[in-house]
Amino acid sequence: MSAQLPIRRLGTSGLEVSAIGLGCMGLSFGYGPETSKEDAIKLLCKAFELGVTFFDTAEAYGPFANEALLGEALAPFRDQVVIATKFGFKNGKTDLGLDSSPQNIRNVTEAALKRLKTDRIDLLYQHRVDPVVPIEDVAGTVKELIKEGKVKYFGMSEAGVESIRRAHVVQPVTVLQSEYSLWWREPEKEVFPTLEELGIGFVPFSPLGRGFLTGTINANTKFDPTDFRNIVPRFNEENRKANQIVVEKLREFAKKKQVTPAQIALAWVLAQKPWIVPIPGTTKIHRLEENLKAAQIILTKADLQEIEDVFSTIEVQGARYPQHLQQRVGK
Ligand SMILES: NC(=O)c1ccc[n+]([C@@H]2O[C@H](COP(=O)([O-])OP(=O)(O)OC[C@H]3O[C@@H](n4cnc5c(N)ncnc54)[C@H](OP(=O)(O)O)[C@@H]3O)[C@@H](O)[C@H]2O)c1
């Protein structure tokens, strides 16, 4: 294990991972063309070499390609890492709608085990709450998979507090994964107190604001036609322009601390709770190195207060999801 990354405990279930994980989605899906297999494997191996022991994927990333990539890349050190994947869409395709039926959960688990070249999934998330399948049935199915040794821990993603509580009664939830960053702080209101009460860990996705908080995106940025950000209101040209103030403030603060905006964005997330483990995504080794150094940054109480004072006055423009996808979150 590299000295660079401390270990964190995700809630009270005993799951321990590197303080920063790696979000692997962008290697295959979401932000333009997929990375070549050779480069992607190099990046995943480098992450492990630098101390990352927590890798995030999903059936839907590709679909299937991202799990298969991780299966191949992580095989040499499989037993030293925690692999998290997700079920919950029809045929693994996000545009076909949700499917958390017990049969689909079982099918996806079996297929994911094969693609990941493993005999157990360390952390299995429901990707989105499915309104037509009682959450008790979902939790009950994962409970059976845990009994069968195919899954170790149960997670939920973008679930609301009522679903979390109901699921937790049937099968303890180890982790909630939802969007959280300096420009999306909604989980602090209801979700964090619930997680703290129930001993559930938190994994913020898009902790770099899908790249925006790094300062590399502005009103002139042109995304690849297949890039998801083309349909996100927060990323339309007008809102990118209006939201530059967020980046300006981050830059100013980062300069004082002699670090980068991306590193401040991650250090801030890490400073919120000891049971939080962000999973920034990147396809580039130099950015991976940059991002992981955030675990070494100590933000003092005064630093955090300064960030609070500045950012609480900024109103971020634009919804984080288009309307049809917004309906799927917080359920
Ligand atoms: N549960 C869910 O529904 C859900 C939803 C979204 C994401 N996720 C998970 O969360 C992970 C992370 O979220 P995310 O990828 O959406 O967003 P993110 O980590 O906030 O940002 C990723 C973007 O930032 C860029 N980037 C990363 N580090 C950078 C740096 N140091 N400087 C400049 N640019 C940088 C990346 O581009 P380059 O590749 O060019 O570096 C990429 O476009 C995903 O990989 C996925 O595993 C889960």
CATH number of 103's domain: 3.20.20.100
Query: 22, 186 in Cβ contact below 8 A?
Result: no
pLDDT, block means (10 residues), the chain with 331 residues:
79 97 98 97 98 98 98 98 98 96 98 98 98 98 98 98 98 98 97 98 98 97 97 97 97 98 98 98 98 97 98 95 89 88
pLDDT at 6: 97
Residue 247 falls inside a structural domain: no
Closest residue to atom 19 of ligand 1, CA basis? 280
Residue 248 falls inside a structural domain: no
Query: 4, 293 in Cβ contact below 8 A?
Result: yes
Interior CA angle at 80 toward 287 and 31, to 5°?
Answer: 35
Q: How far apart are the first and last CA of the chain?
A: 38
Within 10 A of 79 (CB to CB), how many other CB atoms are there? 7
Give the SS3 label for residue 229.
helix
Interior CA angle at 34 toward 37 and 282, to 5°?
Answer: 90
Give the SS3 label for residue 220.
coil
pLDDT at 20: 98
Q: Which domain holds residue 42?
A: 7-208+272-297
Q: Which residues line ligand 1 (CB under 6 A)?
A: 23-26, 31, 56, 127, 157-158, 177, 205-211, 214, 216, 262, 279-284, 287, 290-291
DSSP code string of 310-325:
HHTT----S-SS-HHH
pLDDT at 1: 43
Within 10 A of 284 (CB to CB), how many other CB atoms are there? 13
- Which residue in 204, 201, 239 sits closest to 218, CA to CA? 239
Residue 34 falls inside a structural domain: yes
Give me the number of domains the chain comprises. 1
Q: Rounded to an integer, what distance in angstroms lies between the CA atom of residue 7 and that of residue 26? A: 24
Give the SS3 label for residue 82.
strand
Residue 303 falls inside a structural domain: no
Residue 244 falls inside a structural domain: no
Residue 203 falls inside a structural domain: yes
pLDDT at 235: 98
Q: Which amino acid is at 257?
A: K
Instruction: Give the global pTM.
Output: 0.98
pLDDT at 326: 86
Residue 314 falls inside a structural domain: no
Residue 310 falls inside a structural domain: no
pLDDT at 2: 47
pLDDT at 82: 98
Token pair of 206 as six digits: 């898009």
CA–centroid distance, 208 to ligand 1, in Å, is 6
